[in-house]
Amino acid sequence: MREPNLLTPSSSSPLASADVQTNAQPAAPLTPPASAPDSRAFASTLSTLSPTPLRAARGGASRADRVYESLREDIFELRLLPGIWLTEAAVAARFEVSRTPAREALQRLQGDGLMRGYVRGGWEVAPIDFSRFDDLYEMRELIETFAIRRLCERYARGERAAVQALDALGAIWLVPETARLTDARRVAALDEAFHLALVDAVGNAELSAALRRVTDRIHVVHRLGFVYGERVGETYAEHAELIGAIRAGGAGGVTVAVEQAERHVRRSRAEICRLGAQRLELARDALACADGGPAAV
């Protein structure tokens, strides 16, 4: 009997059907379905994803930090697909650490909404619910449009924090095409930093914290949209327009800036969610073929 492919999501966790667990330590851990694959073989699969065991923490990072960062990157790059099952023992063996840092890393991933913990069945990479991403993008739009109104007012009054924030962002985004970055992953990270910087410049710590939580939750599809889509050039153009509108000032400038912020978030939301779903399905098909099964239609 052929060993189950642990890089294929379990049938019990279909795409866009399950909500993502967000609490680091749920009050009532879930019980895995009886059909969950045996994850004892996962250690051999995991060894192909992260080639360097964590024999020593580097750069001041703890062993748990390094395990967390490696697994998080594998999830973002779709090397670990939604529905994959892990055990603490397999993760610990792969990275040559004890089960304590492995458990800490998995709990942090659960806090990010990327992992789900089960009372007897180990851990599962959280299924992606695209309807939830729609809700998160809507929340992002509300936060950012509110912040843009306040930022326009602050910039018009010449407040130092607002002026400095716009100048710093202009140095990154208001550049000739020949000076633009082409590395999609770097641009995706800079795009997240751009939106956070705009909200930070308003000076409302709770607003900034809320946007950071949203940004963390949408990161997986946001990054896919940049890596596999055409968002790099569009993002430079849209950011330049938004910076210009904020600097324009006046009542008209506020209205234009808010409208541009809305369009920017909505375009990003539509394109990124579409591409995220598409790349996820392609990755699942490729892994099914590699395991000897038929490609999905």
**Main-chain phi, psi angles of 117, to 5 degrees:** -100, 140
Report pLDDT for 223. 79
CB 217 within 8 A of CB 129: no
**Any idea which residue has 């019980």 for tokens?**
31
pLDDT in tens for each of the 297 residues of the chain?
333 233 333 333 222 222 333 333 333 344 444 444 443 334 334 544 544 444 444 544 688 999 999 998 888 877 888 888 889 999 999 899 999 999 999 999 998 888 888 876 689 888 777 777 888 889 999 999 999 999 999 999 999 999 999 999 999 999 999 999 999 889 999 999 999 999 999 999 999 999 999 998 888 778 777 877 677 888 999 999 999 999 986 656 688 889 988 988 888 777 766 666 666 666 666 656 655 544 332
pLDDT digits (tens, 9 = 90+) for 194-231: 999 999 999 999 999 999 999 988 887 787 778 776 77
Report pLDDT for 12. 31
10: three-class secondary structure by DSSP? coil
Sheet bearing 115-118, strands edge to edge: 85-86, 122-125, 115-118
- In which region does residue 114 sit, left (phi positive, over 0), alpha (psi from -120 to 50) or beta (all else)? alpha
Report pLDDT for 98. 93
Q: Which domains does the chain have, with CATH numbers?
A: 1-127 (1.10.10.10), 130-279 (1.20.120.530)
Report pLDDT for 287. 59
229: three-class secondary structure by DSSP? coil
**How many residues are listed for the chain in this entry?**
297
The one-letter code for the residue type at 174 is L
Report pLDDT for 80. 84
CA 195 – CA 261 distance, rounded (Å): 10
Whether the model clears a pTM of 0.85, i.e. scores above it, the answer is no
- Find the helix or strand (DSSP H, E) in which 270 lies: helix 250-290
Report pLDDT for 192. 94
CA 9 – CA 129 distance, rounded (Å): 14
